[in-house]
Structure 1
Amino acid sequence: MKDLTILIAEDEENLAQLLARIFENTGYKTHVVNDGETALYIVKNQHIDIVITDIRMPSLDGISLLKEIKAFDPYIEVLVMTAFANVDTAIDAIKLGARDYIRKPFDIDEVLESIEKAALLVGHHSEYDVHKLKSHEILVDNSLSMKKLKKLIKKVACSTATVNIYGETGVGKELVAKAIHELSDRSNQAFIKVNCSAFPETLLESELFGYEKGAFTGAFSRKLGRFELANGGTIFLDEIGDISLVIQLKLLRVIQQKEFERLGSIKTLPLDLRIITATNKDLKVLVKEKKFREDLYYRLNVIPIDVAPLRERKEDIQALLNTFIRIASKNNKTPIKKISDEALDALINYPWPGNVRELENIVERMIVISDGNIIELSDLPEHILLGKDSANNSILKVHKDEVEERIIRNAMLESQGNMTKTAEKLGISRRSLYRKIHKYSMEDKQPL
C-alpha cells in the first residue's frame, strides 16, 4: 500500500516539509500545501488517498476542510492535527469522519502508525466504485464519432503537444482532457483545471500565476498559482476563448519560454507542464475580430479535437444512461434502477440541447422522483415527453394524456380489473398505476 498519495495541509512550512520527507522516505507520494482552500482544490482535482491537516490554517480551517472532503469523497481518509488540542475538538473531528487525531508536538512513530492504519482502510475500498473509474473508462464509444475520438485521445496522450478541444457546452470536454492526462506519462502528476470564464481578468491572473505576500492589497501570504500546482502534470484551461488579450500574452510566454513569475516577484520559475485548452467558441472568428491573438491560436491549436454533440451520437445514450444511473443511485443511496423501453425511446429521441450534462442531471432527477425499481415514461420531465426543449405545448400534452388514459383503461379491461396484472402489463408499479388512476379520475369509469 506504499504507492498511496498523502496530501499535507499545514501552514508551518518547515513542519510540512519535514512530514513530506518522512512520508516519502517511507514510500508514500506526497503533496504539500499551506492553506485549506488550496488543499481542497487539490483533493477535487487529482487523486488523493490520505489527507493530514492542521486545524488552524488560513482561508479554510481543518474542520471545515474535513467536512468538504467527506462531502466530496467519503473514501478519502483524513487525519487532523493541532497544537490547540482539546477533547471537544477531537470528538467533533472524529464524528465528522476523521480517522485519527494527532496532538502537536507529536511523536513521528505515532504519526506513521496512524498513516499505516489509514492506508489499510484505503486498500479495502471497492476498486469498482464508479467514482474511482478513470475518465477514459467512462467515455462511451458506441457511436462512430466517439470511437474515432478515443483512438485520437490515445495517440495524443503519448505526445507533449498542446491540445485544443472544441465542442458545445456540456459535451464532456473536461472528460476528454482528463482522459488525455490519464493515458499520458504524466498521469501520476497533477491535473489542474481552470474555468477561465469564472474569473475577471485581475483575479484570473493571480489564480494562474500566484502571488507573493504583499504583492497587492489583501495578499497577506504567498499563494501558489494553478501553473505552479500543475508543474510536472497537466493544466486544463476551459473556456479559453474568454480570456483577455493581456492574459493571452502572458499565456503565450508561458508556452514559449516554459517559465513564469508569481505576481510581486522578480524570480523566474521553470515550468514543465502539458497545456490542454477547450472552448465552445470559434477561435478563428475571434482571431479575425482581433479578440484572440493569432500567434497564441496557432500555439494552442497544434492538435484540435472536436467533440460531437449528443444529438449526433444517439448510439451512446443508453450506455451513458447506465453509467449515470449507477452514479446517481449511489449518490442518493437508492437501489440501481432499470429504465422502461418507452422511457428509453423518449430519451433517445430527445435532441439534448444541454448535451451529456443535461442527460446526467435528468437521470438524477428521475432516480429521486421515480417510484419502485423501474424508471417509467411518466417519470420523465414533460419537455422530454414532448420531444423538444419546451414544456408549454398544452395541445400535445392533452393528446398524450388521452392516449395514456385509453391504454390504461384497456389494460384494466384485459386484466379484468386485477391491479397487479394491469401494472405488469403496463410495465409500471402498482403505486404508479394507482396514481395514474387517480390522475384521470378512473376509479368509477368503465374501460374503453
Structure 2
Amino acid sequence: MQNSGFRILIVDDEQHYCDVLKLILEGESYQVKTTTSSLDALEMLEQESYDLVISDFFMQDLDGFELLKKIRTDHVDTEVIIITGYGSIKNAIDAIKKGAFSYYIKSHDPEELLFEVKKVKKIAELSLKMSQPAVKGQYLMMSKNTKMKKIIDMIDKVADSNANILLLGESGVGKEAFAAYIHEKSFRRDKNFVPVNCHAYSKTLLESELFGHEKGAYTGATETRIGKFESAEGGTLFLDEIGDATLDMQVKMLRVLDTKRIERIGSNRLIDVDFRLVCATNRNISEMIQTGLFREDFYYRISTFALEIPPLRERREDIPQMVHFFIARLANDMKKTIKSVNDDLMDYLLQYDYPGNIRELKNMIERLIVLSSDGVLKKEDLYLDQKNRTQFQIHTLKAFRSQSEKQYIERILKHTEGHLTQAAELLDITRRQLFNKIQELEIDTERFKIKNEK
C-alpha cells in the first residue's frame, strides 16, 4: 500500500540517527523530514502539516514532555511517538499518559517502529472516513494544512459581521465557494447570495449589470431592470475577478460603498442598498496599484480582511480528503457506486501539480467516475496532456530500498573520504557488512577512492 500522503517529522539531536530513520521510513514510501532541534520542529509544524512526529525524549532546547505538550495544544491532529533509551522508559510511559501515541526504544528492531507508524496511519484513515466534514457550497471547509486552517478559522470569526472581505488566490482554488461559505455563516444567510464575474462584462455592461437601468435609458433598454446591487439587498454581493474592473467602475463602486446608495442608469432617483461585499481576484493587486491600474482607496475599502487561499499543490495533505469528498458527491449525482481508489492513482494524484487547482481535481474525479465500470477508480483512466504529467517512475519496494540504501551509503563514503572503517562506524555495521553492501549495490569504488584499510 502506498504511504505517499502520510507526512512524518523526525526530531533527534543526532543527525546520523535522523538520517537512518529517514532512510527506513522513506523505504516504506512515507514522506519524511528531519530536524535536530525541537524549536525548529515547532516552526516546521507551523509551516506545514504533519500526521506524525517521531521525537527523541532528551533534547537540548525542549525535552520530549515540552514538545509533546505544545504539539497536543497547537496541532491536535498530529500524533507523537517518543524515542527513548532503556534508561528513560518510565519517562516515555509518562509521555503516553500526557498524550503521546506510543514509544520506541532505540536499540530495538526498526520493524517495531514501523508497526507503530502503520497503526497511526490506519487510525488516521479510519478517522477520516468516519468524520463528518463541514461542507458548504461546492468544497470542503476543513483542512489539515496549517495555513488553510488559519484562513478557515479567520473566516469563521469574521463571517457574521459586515466587514468587506477580499479573497486572493489562483484560478480554481475555490474563491466563490469560500464567498458562499461566508454568506451561509453570516446573519444574512436567509437573503440572496449574488455572484458577479467582472471579467465577463465590458465596462458598459458591468455598470448595467450592477446598477440596473430604467426603461429607455439607452438603445435596447426596453424595460426597467434591477441591478445586482439591488438584487443583493440584505444579502451578500460577490464580485469575482474584481481586478478586471476599470478605474472608472472602481470609482463608481467606491461611491456606492461609501454612501450605500445607487442610481439606476437613466434615473436620478437615489435608492438605498444594504449588502455585504465579498470580492475575489487571481491578479496581483499590489502590482496593479503601483502601476496605476487599481485604485488604492478602493482596495482598502474592499479589503477590511484580505485572505490569500493557497494553491492545491501547496496543501497536498488535503488531497485524499478532497478525493473522497468529490467521489461521494459526484458518484451520488451520477447514481454510480465507487468502491475504491487504486493506490497508483492516489499516488499520482498526490504527486500532480494541479495548474487548475481544486477545479481541475474535481474534473479529474468526475472523468474517472464516468469511465469506471467496476466501481474502482484507476490511473489508466486518466487522459491528461503529456506536458502536464508529473514524471514519476514506479519501482518495486525492494528496488526502491536498494536505491535509497545505495544513495545513503554513497553519502557516508563521501563524508569519510572513502575510509571504510569510519563509514562502517557511522552506519553502525561491520566493515565486512559494509564491504558486502558495496559489492551488492555496485557502488563505484574508484569514484569514492575507497580505502580498504585494516
TM interval, shorter chain, is: 0.5 to 0.7
Q: What is the aligned partner in structure 2 of residue 442 from structure 1?
A: none
Partner of 2:266: helix, strand, or coil? coil
Q: What is the aligned partner in structure 1 of residue 292 from structure 2?
A: 290
Counterparts of 1:139-150 in structure 2, within 5 Å, are: 139-150=141-152
Unaligned runs of 5+ in 2: 1-131, 397-454
Partner of 1:269: helix, strand, or coil? strand
**Residue 180 in structure 1 maps to residue 179 in structure 2:** no
Q: What is the aligned partner in structure 2 of residue 306 from structure 1?
A: 308
After TM superposition, the score normalised by the length of structure 1 is 0.56
Q: What is the aligned partner in structure 2 of residue 322 from structure 1?
A: 324
Structure number, greater radius of gyration: 2
Partner of 2:306: helix, strand, or coil? strand
Partner of 2:358: helix, strand, or coil? helix
Cα drift, residue 136 of structure 1: 9.0
Cα drift, residue 298 of structure 1: 1.1
Cα drift, residue 337 of structure 1: 4.0
Cα drift, residue 327 of structure 1: 2.1
Q: Deviations over 1:320-368 (max 9, x none)?
A: 1111112221232222342112211110111111100000000111011
Q: What is the aligned partner in structure 2 of residue 151 from structure 1?
A: 153
Cα distance in 1 for residues equivalent to 2:361 and 2:242: 25
Unaligned runs of 5+ in 1: 1-129, 404-448
After TM superposition, the score normalised by the length of structure 2 is 0.55
What amino acid does structure 2 have at the position aligned with 1:279?
T
State which of 269, 273, 276 in structure 1 corresponds to 2:275.
Answer: 273
Question: Highest relative contact order (Cα 8 Å, sep 6+), 1 or 2?
Answer: 2
Would the alpha carbon gap of residues 316 and 246 (structure 1) be closer, same or farther in structure 2, given more than 3 Å must change? same
Cα distance in 2 for residues equivalent to 1:190 and 1:141: 27
Q: Deviations over 1:396-432 (max 9, x none)?
A: 8xx87x99xxxxxxxxxxxxxxxxxxxxxxxxxxxxx
Partner of 2:388: helix, strand, or coil? coil
Cα drift, residue 382 of structure 1: 4.5
Are the equivalent residues in 1 in contact too, given 2:352–2:389 (CA < 8 A)? Answer: no
Are the equivalent residues in 2 in contact too, given 1:337–1:367 (CA < 8 A)? Answer: no
Cα drift, residue 133 of structure 1: 5.2
Q: Deviations over 1:220-240 (max 9, x none)?
A: 111110110001110000000
What amino acid does structure 1 have at the position aligned with 2:182?
I
Cα drift, residue 316 of structure 1: 0.8
What amino acid does structure 1 have at the position aligned with 2:278?
I
Moved over 4 A (4+): none
State which of 216, 219, 222 in structure 2 corresponds to 1:217.
Answer: 219
Cα drift, residue 140 of structure 1: 3.1
Cα drift, residue 275 of structure 1: 0.5
Cα distance in 2 for residues equivalent to 1:337 and 1:201: 50
Counterparts of 1:279-428 in structure 2, within 5 Å, are: 279-383=281-385, 389-390=388-389
Are the equivalent residues in 1 in contact too, given 2:243–2:294 (CA < 8 A)? Answer: yes
Would the alpha carbon gap of residues 144 and 278 (structure 1) be closer, same or farther in structure 2, given more than 3 Å must change? same
State which of 247, 250, 274 in structure 1 corresponds to 2:249.
Answer: 247
Are the equivalent residues in 2 in contact too, given 1:190–1:234 (CA < 8 A)? Answer: yes
What amino acid does structure 1 have at the position aligned with 2:237?
I
Are the equivalent residues in 1 in contact too, given 2:262–2:273 (CA < 8 A)? Answer: yes
Counterparts of 1:111-260 in structure 2, within 5 Å, are: 134-135=136-137, 138-260=140-262
Cα drift, residue 381 of structure 1: 2.9
Are the equivalent residues in 2 in contact too, given 1:259–1:268 (CA < 8 A)? Answer: yes
Q: Deviations over 1:40-71 (max 9, x none)?
A: xxxxxxxxxxxxxxxxxxxxxxxxxxxxxxxx
Cα distance in 2 for residues equivalent to 1:307 and 1:390: 24
Are the equivalent residues in 2 in contact too, given 1:140–1:320 (CA < 8 A)? Answer: no
Cα distance in 2 for residues equivalent to 1:272 and 1:337: 48
Percent identical across equivalent pairs? 43
Q: What is the aligned partner in structure 1 of residue 49 from structure 2?
A: none
Q: Deviations over 1:204-233 (max 9, x none)?
A: 110001111111111111111011000111
Would the alpha carbon gap of residues 301 and 160 (structure 1) be closer, same or farther in structure 2, given more than 3 Å must change? same
